[in-house]
């Protein structure tokens, strides 16, 4: 079973993602905020991270940069899930920071599943 860590400051969003992905057999862990999320990434070493950008304690880009700076977490794929849907942010996120995918809130359950399955299959293909 693939383990996915959702780093998000809204508990309702974690519950929604857990519901959507749980139906497809994914184990979804939740972390409330960037600081807790980074700690969970280091302890759990999930197969994939769903990362919100706008969080009060530590923003998603900071979490992402710290993940990529560490040998133990650098290869974990990251999908950014955020309400910041401006196209410039998407371009910056995907190309400059090299995130694996980008989903804008609100999203459909199918969009989330498609993104998760695509990123995990790309990761599998690289191994």
Residues 94-125 have pLDDT tens digits of 666 778 988 888 899 999 999 999 999 998 88
Find the helix packing angle between 60-69 and 34-44, rounded to 10°.
30
Question: Quick one: average pLDDT of 42-48?
Answer: 98
- Is 0.85 surpassed by the pTM of this model? yes
**H-type alpha helices, 23-86:** 34-44, 60-69
How many domains is the chain built from? Answer: 1
CATH code at 39? 3.40.50.2300
pLDDT of residue 107: 93
Give the model confidence (pLDDT) of 55-93 as tens digits. Answer: 889 988 899 999 999 999 999 999 988 876 555 566 666
Q: Residue 127 domain-assigned?
A: no
pLDDT for the residue 87? 57
> How many Cβ atoms from other residues are within 10 Å of residue 35's Cβ?
16
Domain containing residue 58: 3-122
């Amino acid at each position: 079973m693939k383990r996915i860590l959702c780093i998000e400051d809204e508990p309702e969003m974690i519950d929604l993602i857990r519901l959507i992905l749980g139906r497809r057999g994914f184990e979804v862990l939740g972390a409330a905020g960037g600081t807790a999320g980074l700690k969970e990434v280091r302890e759990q070493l999930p197969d994939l991270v769903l990362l919100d950008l706008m969080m009060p304690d530590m923003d998603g880009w900071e979490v992402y940069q710290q993940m990529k700076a560490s040998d133990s977490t650098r290869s974990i794929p990251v999908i950014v899930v955020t309400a910041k849907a401006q196209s410039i942010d998407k371009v910056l996120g995907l190309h400059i920071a090299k995130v694996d995918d980008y989903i804008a809130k609100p999203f459909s359950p199918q969009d989330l599943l498609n993104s998760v399955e695509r990123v995990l299959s790309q990761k599998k293909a690289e191994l």
